Chain A
């Protein structure tokens, strides 16, 4: 089955620790996105990648980093500089030439110990 796989489903971060969230897609989509969702809030864009080896900061990129070395993979690192990382993180990819449809993964819930 084609789709987007996010792992792990739940992740706990200790003070001062960097953690990496995995996002893999087998849809052959060029564009991939990372969003953060807080309770009662909409989706806020962290990073966006249109093609391999290229990515742009979104509205809330501070404290996060990404890489896009392969078309299928777009991992997100939450660094120790992100002081309030507790949130639900969603990865998505885009079908078509424009953003008319995003396919989302099932999300990763990150919590601070």
Chain B
């Protein structure tokens, strides 16, 4: 398979601060990366689609100015939660796609964000 990493694996921050989460494809180049959010006992909800070198496409109801996504290279996408509030506390998961590996999406291990 292919490996996708996320950093950090967990983060605790104060309300009002910004937090950056990295998603890396370690052994393949990902033309597209996706960002999901998952609240406790709930399913994954797609937040945005990130294509290398272009602006991210956000799902309805997701604030693009609050959740900044940058896909600067074929192996790295970042999600920045700006001015975080307690309601932003969640499990954030990224996935990466490459046509070179059976068109499969590979998921990262997730990042647990807790906003105090």
| Chains A and B are bound partners | no
Residues on B facing A (Cβ under 8 Å): none
Residues on A facing B (Cβ under 8 Å): none
